[in-house]
Amino acid sequence: MTETEQIIQEINGIFKLTGDDEVAIPKEWASELELLRAVKEEYKKRLLAMIPKYQLLPSESLMPDMFFQALRSRESELERGVQPKK
């Protein structure tokens, strides 16, 4: 299981507890980065719907959400080619 899939499992665990629909995982994806970006966009849409004030922030990096920050951090690692810690 990739680090991105682990983050998605954690997000979906919280959504289950709150009664929200789980984040959909695309059935096919060419790379972990492609998967991450698809999930990040869906999660960001939900986050902005739940907390509209986040739309006023000048940068998405300022959104104080631990899952969103974890997705952004992993995206940055994948873009730089950093391998996950074992």
pLDDT for residue 25: 83
pLDDT for residue 70: 96
Nearest-5° angle of CA 23, CA 66, CA 45? 40
Q: What percent of the chain has pLDDT over 70?
A: 95
Average pLDDT for 15-19: 94
Residue ranges of the domains in the chain?
Answer: 3-80
Band of the pLDDT at 28, cuts 50, 70, 90? confident
Length of the chain: 86
> Is the model more confident about 84 or about 24?
24
Residue 83 token pair: 């391998």
Dihedral angle of Cα 9, 16, 27, 31, to the nearest 10 degrees: -30
